[in-house]
């Protein structure tokens, strides 16, 4: 496969950007080789600058649930863009997207649009602290919440640890208020509330943890977390940047029928444009500026072009059968792969939550980030390289999940399943 142009562009890019990229995982560090520079995309397909064609399962890391270059989104964006691109003043489009979301979501009453998932989470944490007048936050090992300073933490050596910053440039003082716990251990959550009464502002979790493999979290655990938060005067934040509008229109809150206090969104909400959002009850949202004293603002927040894209995308998501159809397709893919790997007796699993899937190169359950065997990543590298050579695009890291879109045809799924099986045969030969 010819990758000359991508290789040239990457060399040039390295002179402009750290690592040649504007977001680290794009650099292909964990699989090796040269990132593909994408020229265009349509439906289920991507084309790189060397005109190689791929069936996409990365989908810009989740936002493109309708597939690429969707005509409904394109038309709505085109309509909006003819009137200008940003006014820094309210628009009817913001109302329209808010109405679409709020009238189809039982868990939030008011919303605020921002420009990324990170910004949504950062604002939600500030809101929780402002609302409760408390500082400490509980987060879980293996959950990713964007590059928010106070959440760039990893667990230390004990079971209950205050954050050790996982990035240079994050002062200790900032992560000192973040308590990191393993997933699925409600006893430890209870202990933290016992040890720090009236100090915990919020518990934040990815209710479908999909940024470190697809970790299995029981609905009972989420339910108990929510009860513990409410019992102790802390807020429950569901970070649904990846699961919102993905595992169902109401995200994991709807899937599990659990009512968090604050929900964050991103990715799908902007139809492929940079949009994030956070929402909560009227009471909690009344703390946000200018109604309340929790300051949060954005020059391009509620950008009309991005709102138009979000409206078009979410309108499609609301059509009857949309999520059932995605789930069925995902099952078609995972069943075909599992049939093969079980026949071969490979130690291998596929974890799936609706239209999110993740390949695990081991036979056991994966309930926590540290249960992912790093040795499996050698197998992923072999699989990833084989798939690229055969026109199937997966995110360039074995810790990343794959996504199914409405644009995948059965033929796409069957072709990809076959290539994945062949790639796994290669990976398990070694």
Ligand X SMILES: *Cc1c(COP(=O)(O)O)cnc(C)c1O
- Just list the catalytic residues: 144, 239, 267
Q: What is the nearest approach in angstroms of ligand X to the Cβ of residue 339?
A: 30
Span from 36-44, 81-89, 239-247, 330-338 in contact with ligand X (CB under 6 A): 239-247
Contact 97, 113 (CB under 8 A): yes
Q: What is the nearest approach in angstroms of ligand X to the Cβ of residue 25?
A: 10
Tell whether residue 260 is a contact of ligand X (CB under 6 A).
no
Tell whether residue 146 is a contact of ligand X (CB under 6 A).
yes
- d(C-alpha 261, C-alpha 282), whole Å: 11
Span from 66-74, 116-124, 153-161, 174-182 in contact with ligand X (CB under 6 A): 116-124
In a 3-state reduction of DSSP, which class is residue 288?
strand
Span from 52-60, 144-152, 346-354, 422-430 in contact with ligand X (CB under 6 A): 144-152
Span from 67-75, 113-121, 321-329, 420-428 in contact with ligand X (CB under 6 A): 113-121
DSSP string computed for 123-161: HHHHHHHHHHT--EEEEETT----S-GGG-EE--SSSSE
DSSP E strands: which ranges in 337-420? 349-353, 356-360, 392-393, 402-403
Tell whether residue 94 is a contact of ligand X (CB under 6 A).
no
**Cβ-based neighbours of 51, under 8 Å, separated by 6 or more:** 39
Q: How many residues bind ligand X (CB under 6 A)?
A: 15
- d(C-alpha 368, C-alpha 360), whole Å: 13
Per-residue binding string, ligand X, 169-208, x by CB under 6 A, is -------------------------------------x--
Tell whether residue 419 is a contact of ligand X (CB under 6 A).
no
Tell whether residue 241 is a contact of ligand X (CB under 6 A).
yes
Q: What is the nearest approach in angstroms of ligand X to the Cβ of residue 276?
A: 6
Identify the burial level of 46 via C-beta atoms within 10 angstroms of its C-beta, where 0-12 means exposed, 13-18 middle and 19 or more buried: buried
Give exposure, 174-201, as e/b (b: 16+ Cβ within 10 Å): bbebbbbbbbbbbeebeebbeeeeebbb
Contact 173, 149 (CB under 8 A): no
Tokens 């990132």 correspond to: 35
Q: 105 is written with which tokens? A: 């979501």
- CB atoms inside a 10 Å sphere around CB 344: 12
Q: Determine which residue in the list 242, 277, 366, 383 makes contact with ligand X, applying CB under 6 A.
A: 242
Q: Determine which residue in the list 20, 35, 43, 117 makes contact with ligand X, applying CB under 6 A.
A: 117
Q: Which residue is nearest to ligand X (CB)?
A: 117
Q: 107 is written with which tokens? A: 């868990």
Of 241 and 288, which has the nearer Cβ to ligand X?
241
Of 10 and 61, which has the nearer Cβ to ligand X?
61
Of 204 and 308, which has the nearer Cβ to ligand X?
204
Q: Determine which residue in the list 118, 226, 341, 355 makes contact with ligand X, applying CB under 6 A.
A: 118
Tell whether residue 360 is a contact of ligand X (CB under 6 A).
no
- CB atoms inside a 10 Å sphere around CB 342: 10
- d(C-alpha 73, C-alpha 115), whole Å: 18
Tell whether residue 353 is a contact of ligand X (CB under 6 A).
no
Tell whether residue 215 is a contact of ligand X (CB under 6 A).
no
Q: Determine which residue in the list 10, 144, 221, 386 makes contact with ligand X, applying CB under 6 A.
A: 144
- d(C-alpha 246, C-alpha 322), whole Å: 10
Span from 132-140, 171-179, 234-242, 303-311 in contact with ligand X (CB under 6 A): 234-242
Query: Residues 267 to 286: which contact ligand X by CB under 6 A?
Result: 267, 276
Q: 147 is written with which tokens? A: 């590059």
Residues of this chain that bind ligand X (CB under 6 A): 116-118, 121, 144-146, 206, 211, 239, 241-242, 266-267, 276
């Amino acid at each position: 496969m010819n990758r000359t142009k991508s290789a040239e562009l990457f060399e040039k890019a390295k002179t402009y950007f750290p690592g040649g990229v504007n977001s680290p995982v794009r650099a292909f560090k964990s699989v090796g080789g040269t990132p593909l520079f994408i020229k265009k995309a349509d439906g289920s397909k991507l084309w790189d600058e060397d005109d190689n064609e791929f069936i996409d399962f990365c989908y810009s890391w989740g936002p493109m649930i309708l597939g690429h270059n969707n005509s409904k989104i394109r038309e709505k964006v085109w309509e909006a863009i003819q009137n200008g691109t940003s006014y820094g003043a309210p628009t009817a489009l913001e109302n329209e997207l808010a109405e679409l979301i709020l009238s189809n979501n039982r868990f939030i009453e008011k919303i605020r649009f921002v420009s990324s998932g990170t910004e949504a989470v950062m604002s939600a944490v500030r809101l929780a602290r402002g609302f409760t007048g408390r500082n400490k936050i509980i987060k879980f090992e293996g959950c990713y919440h964007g590059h928010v300073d106070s959440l760039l933490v990893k667990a230390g050596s004990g079971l209950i640890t205050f954050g050790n910053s996982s990035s240079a440039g994050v002062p200790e003082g900032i992560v000192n208020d973040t308590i990191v716990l393993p997933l699925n251990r409600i006893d430890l959550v209870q202990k933290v509330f016992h040890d720090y009464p009236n100090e915990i502002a919020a518990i934040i979790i990815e209710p479908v943890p999909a940024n470190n493999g697809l970790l299995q979290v029981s609905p009972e655990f989420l339910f108990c977390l929510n009860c513990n938060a409410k019992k102790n005067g802390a807020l429950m934040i569901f970070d649904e940047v990846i699961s919102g509008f993905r595992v169902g229109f109401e995200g994991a809150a709807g899937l599990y029928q659990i009512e968090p206090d604050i929900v964050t969104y991103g990715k799908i909400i902007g139809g492929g444009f940079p949009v994030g959002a956070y929402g909560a009850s009227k009471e909690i949202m009344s703390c946000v500026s200018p109604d309340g004293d929790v300051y949060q603002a954005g020059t391009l927040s509620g950008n009309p072009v991005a709102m138009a894209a979000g409206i078009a995308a979410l309108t499609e998501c609301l059509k009857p059968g949309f999520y059932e159809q995605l789930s069925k397709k995902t099952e078609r893919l995972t069943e075909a792969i599992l049939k093969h790997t079980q026949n071969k007796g490979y130690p291998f699993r596929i974890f799936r939550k609706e239209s999110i899937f993740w390949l695990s190169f081991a036979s056991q359950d994966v309930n926590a980030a540290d249960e992912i065997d790093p040795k499996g990543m050698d197998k992923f590298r072999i699989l990833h390289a084989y798939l690229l050579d055969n026109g199937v695009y997966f995110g360039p890291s074995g810790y990343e999940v794959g996504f199914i879109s409405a644009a995948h045809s059965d033929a796409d799924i069957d072709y990809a399943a076959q290539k994945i099986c062949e790639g796994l045969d290669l990976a398990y030969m070694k």
